Amino acid sequence: MTIIGFVRHGVTAWNKEGRAQGSSDVPLDEEGIEMAIRVAERLAGEQWDAIYTSPQKRAKETAEIIAGKMVGMELVEDVRLREVGGGKVEGTTEAERIEKWGEDWRLLDMGFEPQEAIIERGLASIKEIKAKYPEQSVLVVSHGSFIKRMLNELIADTTFDISLDNTSITIVDLQDNKGICELFNCTKHLQL
């Protein structure tokens, strides 16, 4: 079995404004950096063998802060861990989408990355991590929509549809033929 600890990146200005980020390369804001420091301090007291990260600024910055608290930790960028491509809605708020495309904008072709492509790239990355780190624990720093899709694929008979909190930790035990969610959306490090 391999343990995967999914960590959502720290908060950004666009998160606070309710803007769809998708593949846009938005950095952490000051609060996001502080959140990343807090999750890093928490994780530094645990046993992790490597950190994989999306190359997008908000995730990569979070991963670098975590790695900075863990001496000699391997940090690997993997483009397959990037956020879901948001097409035409990237950079917009819900109000702006309604103003531009109307109340039923979700029914239009907005150029979103296809679900099948997201699942394929994500599972390929997880499969490689599992093969490279059998019987070990690996952090995967990524994005809310991407992580939810991975959880829905890795854990049978469960649907994860709530939004994951920034710097939340979700731990999945990848056993031979199924995944078991050991911890979900935990942010106790932010309540200090």
| Amino acid letter, 109 | D
Task: For residues 178 and 156, give the distance between their C-alpha atoms in angstroms, rounded to a whole number.
Answer: 7
Query: Among all chains, which residue has been given the structure tokens 């531009």?
Result: 100
Residue 124 · residue 80 · CB < 8 Å: yes
Beta bridge partners of 142: 8
- Number of neighbours of residue 69 by Cβ within 10 angstroms: 16
Farthest CA pair distance, the chain: 51
The catalytic site residues sit at 9, 83
Distance of CA 15 to the CA centre of its chain: 14
Q: What is the DSSP string of 136-166?
A: -EEEEEE-HHHHHHHHHHHSTT----SPPPT
